[in-house]
Amino acid sequence: MSNSLVNARGSALIYILIAVALLAALTVSLMEPSGQQAQSQSSTNMVTDVSGQVSFISSAISECILSHPDQDSELTATEQKNAPYPINPSDPYFDSQSADPLSDPDDSVKWIRCPGSPGGSGPTNQNHARIFGGTSGKFLPPAPAMFSDWTYYNGSDGIYIMTTTTKTDPFIASSVAKLDAKYSHCEGEVIDRRSLGSINITTDTTPGSGGVRTCPANTLCFRYWIVLKPSAIHQDTDCPT
């Protein structure tokens, strides 16, 4: 075999190897932005979902208090810390009420009732209709992807709604950072207890609860304040008093 033929084959092999290397490099370069783009889109979707539900829930509560400012005259100062807002769904006050009875309700947002809105029977047991459900025509959407159901708090330090996650997906950190930046200072807050123990986040032990509310261990909590009082425990230490 002539030297020229051997040289030609060697040159062709080199070109093939170069082409394979270039194709591999191109594949990697295309895959990396795609993954980043997917994470960015997931982050945007999460922020949109959480903030959209914040608006929906807070608007429904605002409609309740504007429509029924006289609330329920039977509520005591122990049961109602922030009139005329809904009291906590697990409050024992509802044990003696016939308004849309629930079996062992927790403090999920889906159970909150509107004081002053007829929702039961009898002369004194009709003033707490559920805000979300078939009767109201407002239906609470499923919890944001990767987050828990929203919970509600009405206590001496204010009123808030909160959702939590224990997921570790890489885009969650950027999502909650965007959420924190989206709201006014001290209005929305991220409580990061990932790799940490639980922390108390309220000063008040509300009726029906065994203790103060917490952000559990190994959990990331997002809380939105509807009413914020000076006694509130808040991650932003310079909140107005």
* Of 201, 202, 207, nearest in space to 90 by CA: 207
Confidence grade of residue 177 (pLDDT, cut at 50, 70, 90) = confident
Q: pLDDT, tens digit, for every residue of 43-96?
A: 778 888 999 999 999 999 999 999 988 888 888 898 899 999 999 998 888 876
Residue % of the chain over a pLDDT of 90: 38
Rounded Cα–Cα distance for residues 105 and 112 (Å): 10
Under 8 Å between Cβ of 99 and 120: yes
In this structure, the chain runs to a length of: 241
pTM of structure = 0.80
Under 8 Å between Cβ of 189 and 234: yes
Please work out, in degrees rounded to the nearest 5, the angle formed at the alpha carbon of residue 223 by the alpha carbons of 221 and 229: 135
Tally the C-alpha atoms within 13 A of residue 73's C-alpha that lie toward its C-beta.
2
- Look up residue 225 and give its two tokens: 């304040």
The beta strand positions in 74-187, using DSSP E, are 113-115, 128-130, 151-155, 158-165
Rounded Cα–Cα distance for residues 86 and 82 (Å): 8
Choose between 203 and 35: higher pLDDT: 203
Q: Is residue 29 pLDDT above 70, yes or no? A: no
Under 8 Å between Cβ of 95 and 105: no
Per-residue model confidence (pLDDT) at position 164: 94
Query: Backbone phi, then psi, for 107, in 5-degree steps?
Result: -100, 30
